[in-house]
């Protein structure tokens, strides 16, 4: 008898653990999902159903599983009560057909009233046996009566095949777990925790502490999933010009030192050789935990720690970040920033002198500004190697030629040159040649060409190239 009770407790604890894990993951996905507040499409409401379904899935499994620690029957009723609404919200957005007309395709779903009606009939057939099962004859009568009404409607509706299989699939986890707790309660399985009498105030306090604990663990899980979901994939970007003001509400610009670098699931599964550091180089990853050093905009002031994603990070290095704060119901309030490969100006701080100078001393509004650096010839290094400081050239002469304009400027001690208030038009920049150097941007020594618009900021970096022999 003692052995049987032990097995029952082990099985019950396993069910509670799996239910809590499922609940935490669903709540984390809900917190990471972005609310479609700006969606103006005809099917804007479908994303809200998705969000509601994730929230009910997570909270239903969490509180149902925690409730099972003391009361199995209440846990079972909780799962079955949450099931219809949660399963419908999760199933409805994908219950439709791809329609093609005049070479144009779109995904068509039933209007909410029809979908709700079909779901109500489905559960009217499914649920009566659960609630009145002790009276088997009565359950059978109710089941057959509702089925005779529902079957012709299911046969007639073209949305049945699109909605009901998904509804049944999402209902299964709730039904199985709910019936498990109801059945074990009826069979007299022991409670996992003993109920103790306590005042209403203590119950409220315990409930609030549970909520705080769930939120804290879910925030940790959201941060973990954000890091593990990092990616080095980049769209077709052609670089990004310098800026001196925020470009969007989620734009974040700051510098930070990498304290810890880790690898995403994608990098681990594919075992990227390009993320394998050479001997003694240190640790590299595509996500990192950083310590914010200099803020420009977009970062909350309540923390100095930030989670950095979507870039190549070397532990111990400092980076300039031109990133995007992630959206999400909860994650929008957390210090998570996507760096971006090729589509942003995120870079090691050794080569961020132009960006930092512009942000610290922005040009006057409405004026045209050209700046860049001049560096010496170097051995090619990929963006996946540990960054080093380039050999910037001080006092390099640059001849600027344009419409009715000719001027020679020199780089300062940091190898940076600047030109202010140029008239709109086309200009060429040519480095003065030394005895053993050719100059240019593309390796052939040809001058660099730039186009100036009124009130814009242009960056043009130049490279000294060894003379060809």
> What are the tens digits of pLDDT across the range 38-83?
777 777 888 999 999 999 999 999 999 999 998 999 999 999 999 9
Token pair listed for 133: 């099962």
Q: Is the pLDDT of residue 29 over 90?
A: yes
So what's the pLDDT on residue 393? 86
d(CA 13, CA 65): 10
pTM of structure: 0.82
More confident residue, 275 or 284: 284
d(CA 89, CA 86): 5
- 423 contacts 341 by C-beta, under 8 angstroms: no
Q: What is the mean pLDDT of residues 396-402?
A: 87
Q: What is the helix (H) or strand (E) element at residue 46, kind and residue range?
A: helix 45-67
- 239 contacts 342 by C-beta, under 8 angstroms: yes
So what's the pLDDT on residue 169? 94
Compute the radius of gyration of the chain from its Cα atoms: 31
Q: Is the pLDDT of residue 16 over 90?
A: yes
CA terminus-to-terminus distance, the chain: 92
| Residue 35 DSSP symbol | P
3-state secondary structure of 140: helix
- 258 contacts 289 by C-beta, under 8 angstroms: yes
Q: What is the mean pLDDT of residues 234-238?
A: 66
d(CA 200, CA 208): 12
d(CA 218, CA 330): 10
Token pair listed for 430: 């040519």
So what's the pLDDT on residue 436? 45
Q: Is the pLDDT of residue 269 over 60?
A: yes
d(CA 317, CA 385): 12
Instruction: Please list the residue range(s) of the chain that carry CATH number 2.60.40.10.
Output: 363-466
Strands (E), 272-354: 284-297, 305-314, 318-325, 336-338, 347-348
Contacts of 198 (CB under 8 A, 6+ apart): 206
Q: Is the pLDDT of residue 317 over 80?
A: yes
The DSSP string of 331-368 is: GGGS-EEE--SSSS--EEGGG-HHHHHHHHSPPPTT--
d(CA 58, CA 52): 10
Q: Is the pLDDT of residue 211 over 60?
A: yes
More confident residue, 444 or 404: 404
Alpha helices in 92-199 (DSSP H): 112-126, 128-131, 136-156, 160-186
> What are the tens digits of pLDDT across the range 437-458?
445 544 455 678 888 887 778 8
The residue whose two tokens read 């080569």 is 351
The DSSP string of 203-262 is: HHHHHHHHHHHHHHHHHHHHHHHHHHT------S-------SS-SSTTEEEEEEEEEEEE
> What are the tens digits of pLDDT across the range 114-152?
999 999 888 887 766 655 555 566 666 767 777 777 788
Cα distances (angstroms) measured from residue 319 to each of 252, 309, 325, 340, 354: 13, 12, 16, 13, 13
Residue 207: band (very low, low, confident or very high) from pLDDT cuts 50, 70, 90: confident
So what's the pLDDT on residue 382? 66
Contacts of 146 (CB under 8 A, 6+ apart): 121, 124, 125, 128
Contacts of 240 (CB under 8 A, 6+ apart): 322, 343, 344, 345
Q: Which CATH class is domain 200-361?
A: mainly beta
Instruction: Please list the residue range(s) of the chain that carry CATH number 2.40.50.
Output: 200-361
Q: What is the mean pLDDT of residues 166-181?
A: 94
Q: Which CATH class is domain 363-466?
A: mainly beta
Mean confidence (pLDDT) of the chain = 84
């Amino acid at each position: 008898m003692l052995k049987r009770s032990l097995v029952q407790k082990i099985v019950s604890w396993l069910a509670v653990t799996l239910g809590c894990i499922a609940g935490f993951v669903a709540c984390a996905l809900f917190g990471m999902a972005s609310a479609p507040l700006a969606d103006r499409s005809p099917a804007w409401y479908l994303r809200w159903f998705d969000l509601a379904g994730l929230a009910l899935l997570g909270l239903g499994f969490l509180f149902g599983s925690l409730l099972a620690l003391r009361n199995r029957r209440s846990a079972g009723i909780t799962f079955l009560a949450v099931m219809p609404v949660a399963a419908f919200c999760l199933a409805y957005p994908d219950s439709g057909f791809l329609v093609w007309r005049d070479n144009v395709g779109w995904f068509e779903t039933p209007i909410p009233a029809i979908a709700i009606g079909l779901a109500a009939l489905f559960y009217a057939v499914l649920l009566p046996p659960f609630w009145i099962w002790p009276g088997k004859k009565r359950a059978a009568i109710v089941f057959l009566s509702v089925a005779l009404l529902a079957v012709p409607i299911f046969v007639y509706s073209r949305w049945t095949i699109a909605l009901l299989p998904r509804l049944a699939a999402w209902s299964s986890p709730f039904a199985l777990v709910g019936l498990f707790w109801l059945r074990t309660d009826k069979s007299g399985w022991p409670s996992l925790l003993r109920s103790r009498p306590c005042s209403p105030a203590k119950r409220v306090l315990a409930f609030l502490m549970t909520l705080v604990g769930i939120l804290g663990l879910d925030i940790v899980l959201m941060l973990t999933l954000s890091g593990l979901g990092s990616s080095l994939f980049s769209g077709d970007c052609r670089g990004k010009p310098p800026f001196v003001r925020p470009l969007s509400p989620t734009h974040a610009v700051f510098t930070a030192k990498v304290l810890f670098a880790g690898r995403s699931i994608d990098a681990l599964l594919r075992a990227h050789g390009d993320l394998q550091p050479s001997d003694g180089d240190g640790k590299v990853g595509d996500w990192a935990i950083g310590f914010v050093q200099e803020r420009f905009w977009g970062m909350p002031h309540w923390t100095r720690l930030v989670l950095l994603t979507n870039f190549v990070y070397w532990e111990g290095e400092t980076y300039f970040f031109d990133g995007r704060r992630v959206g999400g119901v909860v994650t929008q309030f957390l210090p998570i920033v996507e760096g971006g490969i090729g589509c942003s100006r995120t870079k090691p701080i050794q080569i961020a002198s132009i960006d930092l100078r512009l942000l610290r001393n922005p040009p006057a509004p409405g004026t045209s500004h050209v700046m860049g650096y001049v560096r010496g010839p170097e051995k090619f290094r990929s963006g996946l190697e540990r960054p080093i400081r380039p050999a910037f050239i001080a006092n390099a002469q640059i001849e600027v030629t344009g419409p009715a304009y000719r001027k020679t400027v020199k780089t300062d001690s940091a190898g940076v040159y600047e030109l202010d208030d140029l008239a709109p038009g086309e200009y060429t920049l040519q480095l003065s040649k030394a005895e053993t150097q050719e100059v240019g941007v593309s390796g052939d020594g040809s001058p660099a060409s730039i186009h100036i618009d009124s009130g814009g900021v242009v960056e043009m970096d130049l490279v000294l190239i060894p003379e060809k022999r």
